[in-house]
Amino acid sequence: MNVELKAINAVTTEIKILVPADEATSKWNKHLVKYGKKVEIAGFRKGKAPFHMVERLYSAHALESFYHQMVDDYFEAAVKQENLEYLLFPDVKDIDWEKGKDLEMTIEIEHEPAIEFKQLDNLRVPYTPITLESEVDQYLEKLQKENTRIIDAEEAANEDTVDVEYTMNINGEERVMNGTVQAGGELPNRSIPELIGKKTGDVIQKDLSGMMIKLSTRDSSLTLDNDAMFPVSIMINSIRHNQIPELDDDFAKDLEFDSLDAMKAKIADEMREANAARELNNQFGAIMTKLYVDNQFDLPKKTIEYLAEREAENEPNEAYRQYLEYQYRIQLSQELLGMYIKKVLRAQSNIEVTPELTEEYIKHLAILEDISPEAYKEANKEDIAAEEFKMAVENYGAFMQLIQTAEFYIHDPATEAEETVEEAELVEPQEVDTEEEA
């Protein structure tokens, strides 16, 4: 057996395997003898027909299973001989053989990309920080929404909830139904912009889709085509407005704080440790992005495509299945990017997993879950004992090592674009040899 390897791209290798004629013929003869034991030929007992008759009558049928067997045997032999690693299954591109001649097969395999980070120290990393102030503001906004009051309103404003009465003709019969919609807003099949500025008792005429009528009346039994449009008389019965409290001292006092500043300070103190942990993860993510941008590599597309198709194969709706496959491809690509970057980072960083580093990582995870390290250990005993957790600790240590020398700066696309233009203006145009470039 002779094996030739050719790189198609960074994640695909072509394997050409040549089996000498005498060896291929010997394998064929043995295969045909075995195949002949399963067939019946007139005038002979099952499996007792002469070899030459089996070959003449059944060689075309036996050839496919022969090829399968040869690929299985010689591909695995080539993998061991060349010390190859591959993902999923081999892709047989071609197999060619005539009795008395060498057998040739061409197989493609996908494998992990070969990656080596050119620089790990003193990285300059663009990122968007997760500030404590922004998280406090988000929490206060959440508190405001949780303390929203619903009040009756005289006139409908944008995003107000409006109870309406529909009058319409269904199959020649006038029907009157109650429904609930939104004035303006962006709720699919629930929003009616024309209601803004209208008052209780006002009536408007509008064509509504069958789907919107069913959803807003909560009556899926209506015999209406979802996509068809129907003329409807819409009368406003009532209007409800969500009144969000002002973020001021009175709001803080309602929540038993002395003032708004005192409330912000208290919330900041309680969120400080968790914010620092989230910001650390944010920096880890920014470093991963930086490493990929500076050391871009291909992903195994066929493997991703295959896995995405398998994930979505049970969805009966073709359009939605295609959408799911698209989403799975994105998800799998992101997961593989992260997996490959961390794997290479572990190899190049040589982090020692000490008890101290493990405790530090567990504390980090516990803070993110807002529990004590002891509670985290108790809840995750099996995970912590697994080899995967040790790798996660290595990842954590490697990222912490990079952070020590990294310079993080706030990413500003507009500013960077201006700087790029200014730098480009300073560069003297050069002649390009188009033939060499091609």
Contact 222, 210 (CB under 8 A): yes
Question: Which one-letter amino acid corresponds to residue 75?
Answer: F
User: How far, CA to CA in Å, does 348 sit from each of 160, 283, 304?
Assistant: 58, 19, 26
pTM score above 0.75:
no
CA atoms within 13 A on the CB side of 243: 9
Contact 8, 85 (CB under 8 A): no
Burial environment of residue 117 by CB neighbours within 10 A (0 to 12, 13 to 18, 19 or more): middle
What pLDDT shows up at residue 431? 35
Ramachandran angles phi, psi of 167, nearest 5°: -125, 125
What pLDDT shows up at residue 187? 85
Alpha-carbon distance of 282 to 140, in angstroms, equals: 22
Q: Please name each of the domains of the chain with its CATH number.
A: 2-110 (3.30.70.1050), 149-243 (3.10.50.30), 298-343 (no CATH)
Residue closest to 179 by CA, chosen among 211, 151, 152: 211
What pLDDT shows up at residue 49? 65
H/E run at residue 152: strand 149-152
Residues forming a β-bridge with 205 = 233
Q: What is the pLDDT along the chain (438 residues), one digit of tens a residue?
A: 999 999 999 999 999 999 999 999 999 888 888 876 766 666 666 656 676 665 665 677 778 888 999 999 999 999 999 999 999 889 999 999 998 899 999 999 999 999 999 999 999 999 999 999 999 999 999 999 999 999 999 999 999 999 999 999 998 899 999 999 999 978 888 999 999 999 999 999 999 999 999 999 999 889 899 999 999 999 999 999 999 999 999 999 999 999 999 999 999 999 999 999 999 999 999 999 999 999 999 999 999 999 999 999 999 989 899 999 999 999 999 999 999 999 999 999 999 999 999 999 999 999 999 999 999 999 999 999 999 999 999 999 999 999 999 999 997 766 554 544 444 343 333 333 434 333
Q: What is the DSSP string of 244-260?
A: PPPSSHHHHHHTT-S-H
Contact 33, 131 (CB under 8 A): no
Alpha-carbon distance of 332 to 326, in angstroms, equals: 10
Count Cβ atoms below 10 Å from residue 164 Cβ, excluding itself: 23
What pLDDT shows up at residue 365? 98
Alpha-carbon distance of 101 to 98, in angstroms, equals: 5
What pLDDT shows up at residue 99? 86
**Tokens standing for residue 112:** 């992990």
